[in-house]
Amino acid sequence: MLKTRIIPCLDVADGRVVKGVNFVGLRDAGDPVDAAIAYDAAGADELCFLDIHATHENRGTMFDMVRRTAEHCYIPLTVGGGVREVADVRALLLAGADKVSFNSAAVANPDVVAQAADQFGSQCIVAAIDAKTVSPGKWEIFTHGGRKPTGIDAVEFAVLMMKKGAGEILLTSMDRDGTKQGFNLPLTRAISDAVSIPVIASGGVGTLDHLVDGVTKGGASAVLAASIFHFGEYTVHEAKQYMAAAGIPMRLT
Amino acid sequence: MLTAIIDYESGNLHSAHKAFQRMAREANAGEVIVTTDPDTIARADRIVLPGDGAFPACMAALKGKSGIYDAMIEAVEVKARPFLGICVGMQLMATWGREYEDTRGLDWVGGEVTRITPADPKLKVPHMGWNDLVIDAHHAVFDGIATGDHTYFVHSYHMAVTDPAQRLAHVEYASDVTAVIGRDNMVGMQFHPEKSQTTGLRMISNFLTWQP
């Protein structure tokens, strides 16, 4: 049986983890590669790096980080942030990323997702969607870290991304991100029901029950979280045990 | 001892290269190189064929490099070198690919590759993530591996094997999904062993020391 995935996400800027990661025994709390190795050992099902200050000048730092991670971690790695064109996807895949996520660039030009999927296969193209509630049961795409409204309906856009060839949706609720109030479950449910590709729920995890709800109520195939793992509130293993006890199939190894 | 990972411009070979190199070092199994060179493939002791993307595109890319294709056929069919196909590299071992159009495969293991079509709409395609293996037949690549061990899958098409004896392992997703195939000196894995942590690394090591 296919298992639900737990994906720790590392926000990085200039090759360093934003706010650091607080694990027992970690050599360097700011080194994304050390953190990735620790998460791999802790039983994470995949890893995600998000370059939050991606600029042309610091791309080399990101490639080096991805390359070093791929040398030490034998689980899938998704990389996002500042991915604009097919050449960016190619460069990250060659550096060792397994999947690459498009965000603002796909909103500006949905066809870039189709071009990338045609060239490299849907399995490695993730559409990252940042959505905010605009009225009950209505969600809109926001870009630029949630600051810029686009007027685009989030559910319709998710369907468009699937049709363009995205293999997976990484859905972040901008209302919930950083609040520890839990995933936006109606949004997650609306999108996971609307698309036939896997949806990763993101934004707002504060407790292990939130992870359970994302799957059982939101219909997500995977859950992404950052701070609850980075600051040692829960280990990945504890989260998996908890979700398994709630009846969700998990990889407990 | 030389293991050649064939580069026919299908996907990311960096992680596969690193995983095979690491296990070759640990198992004392010689050198592992990623290559586009037919002569290197011809003199390799083991051949690995990865693959990402669509069946017709992969088959065309492989055949488009006639030197590579001929060297691989010679090494595997004539010299009987141990061969491992990964993901679409495994699917290419089939008789037919039915993705977009009907495409002839290598026909090393009888069967065809068709789209995963779950009756339950809650089951997503691609089949993406960790699934637990059910081992159907003993094989050297399963040394130290047991039914219930997890490997990482990402694919929308799967292979139905004609001769049940050549399906070595499967997983459950909607119905049975073929996970490992093999006969003689050939073995194929639908999942990504290079992305399947200790279980995958162990199978890579087993392949690198396999004497068919």
Portion of chain A with pLDDT greater than 70, in percent? 98
Contacts of A45 (CB under 8 A, 6+ apart): A3, A5, A6, A7, A75, A222, A251, B129, B130
Told to judge if B87 belongs to the known catalytic residues of this protein, a careful annotator would answer yes
Edge-first strand order for the sheet with B157-161 is: B103-104, B96-97, B111-115, B157-161
What would the mean pLDDT of A185-205 be, rounded to a whole number? 97
Dump pLDDT digits (tens) for B114-153: 999 988 888 999 999 999 999 999 999 999 999 999 999 9
- Per the CB < 8 Å rule, is B124 touching A197? yes
Q: Does B131 touch chain A (CB under 8 A)?
A: yes
| CATH code of the domain in which B136 resides | 3.40.50.880
What would the mean pLDDT of A209-220 be, rounded to a whole number? 98
Among residues B87, B99, B139, B170, which one is catalytic? B87
Vertex A93, ends A221 and B55: CA angle to 5°? 75
Q: Report the relative pairing of strands B157-161 and B96-97 from DSSP bridges.
A: unpaired
Q: Does A75 touch chain B (CB under 8 A)?
A: yes
Residue of chain A nearest B133, judged by CA positions: A1
Q: In this predicted complex, what is the ipTM? A: 0.94
Q: What average pLDDT does the structure give for chain B?
A: 95
- Per the CB < 8 Å rule, is B125 touching A122? no
pTM for the complete prediction? Answer: 0.95
Dump pLDDT digits (tens) for A125-152: 999 999 999 999 999 999 877 788 999 9
Dump pLDDT digits (tens) for A27-83: 777 899 999 999 999 999 999 999 988 776 677 788 999 999 998 999 999 999 999
Q: Does A94 touch chain B (CB under 8 A)?
A: yes
Dump pLDDT digits (tens) for B144-178: 999 999 999 999 999 999 999 999 999 999 889 99
More reliable by pLDDT, A29 or A237: A237
| Nearest-neighbour CA in chain A from B56: distance (Å) | 12
Q: Based on the structure, what is the number of domains in chain B?
A: 1
What confidence score (pLDDT) does residue B54 get?
A: 84
Contacts of B76 (CB under 8 A, 6+ apart): B47, B83, B108, B185, B186
Show residues of chain B in contact with A93, CB under 8 Å: 11-12
Six token digits for residue A96: 């060792």
Is the pLDDT at A118 greater than 90? The verdict is no
Can you give the residue range of the structural domain that contains B189? 2-209
